[in-house]
Amino acid sequence: MDVSEKLRYYRKQNNLTQKELADKLHVSRKTISAWENGRGYPDISSITKLSDIFDISTDDLLRDNNLLKHYAEQDKQGQRAEIVAKISYFLDLILTLIAYGHIFKVLNLDGSIIIPFLIVNLILFALSYPTENTSKSKSKVIIVSIVLIAALFINSIIVPLNTELFELLKTNNQAYKLGVISGQLTTIILLSISVTLITCFYPHIRKRKKTATR
C-alpha cells in the first residue's frame, strides 16, 4: 500500500472520520482528504503524530517510494533556500555598510544606486529565509519590534542630517521637495529593515536529521 491507502486504512481501523483526524493534527479536513487521495503528502511532523495516533511505527507509513522521493526533493529545495538566504544575508550586510558609508561621506558614490539593490535583496531574503528559523515567540517579536523602532528612530536623525536634507528643501520646486522627502523616507525605512534583518534574522543552516522510528 502507498501512504494514501495506509492513511485511509489506519484511520478507518481507528474509527476516525477525516474531520476527527484533522482536528487531532490541527489541519483542515481537506488536507486529510488530499493526503488520502494522493494529492499531497504529510510532512515529517505529521507522520510522527499520525504514528502516535494510529499506534504504529513511522516506518509503517514511510515505506512508500513516492513519499520518500517527495521528502528528498523537499530537503534539497530547503537546503538550496537556506544557502540563498545566507548569501542574501551577507549581501544585505555589505549593502547596508555601503549605504552608511555613503551617508557619512566615507564612500563617494551615488546613494540612489544602492536602494534598488537593497529592495531586491530584501525580497530575495524574505522568499528564501528558512521557515524553521522563524520564531513566533513573544520574546522574539518584542526584540524585533524594539530593534526596528530603535533603527527607525536613529536613522530618522542621522539620514537627514548627513544628507543635508534641510539645504535640499530650500528650493521652491515642490515636485523636487516631494522627491527628496520620498527618497529620504525610503532610505530610512530600508536601512531600518536591513539593520533589523542583520540583527535578528541570521539564517542558521541546520543539519538534516533522519526520521527516527519508534
**Residue 56 is part of a domain; what is its CATH number?**
1.10.260.40
- The three-state secondary structure class of 105 is coil
Let me know whether 111 and 171 are in one domain.
Answer: yes
What are the C-alpha distances in Å from 175 to residues 9, 115, 192? 69, 20, 26
Q: Is the pLDDT assigned to residue 38 strictly greater than 60?
A: yes
Identify whether 15 is part of a domain.
yes
Q: Which residues are CB-neighbours of 34 under 8 A, at least 6 positions away?
A: 40
Let me know whether 112 and 19 are in one domain.
Answer: no
Let me know whether 187 and 157 are in one domain.
Answer: yes
User: Against a cut of 0.75, is the pTM above it?
Assistant: no
What's the gap between Cα 112 and its chain centre? 27
Percent of the chain with pLDDT over 70: 85
Identify whether 75 is part of a domain.
no
Identify whether 205 is part of a domain.
no
Let me know whether 92 and 138 are in one domain.
Answer: yes
DSSP designation for 213: P
Let me know whether 106 and 191 are in one domain.
Answer: yes
Total tally of structural domains belonging to the chain: 2
Let me know whether 39 and 119 are in one domain.
Answer: no
Average confidence (pLDDT) over 169-186: 79
Host domain of residue 33: 3-63
Let me know whether 46 and 89 are in one domain.
Answer: no
For 90-115, the pLDDT digits (tens) are: 999 999 999 898 888 888 877 778 88
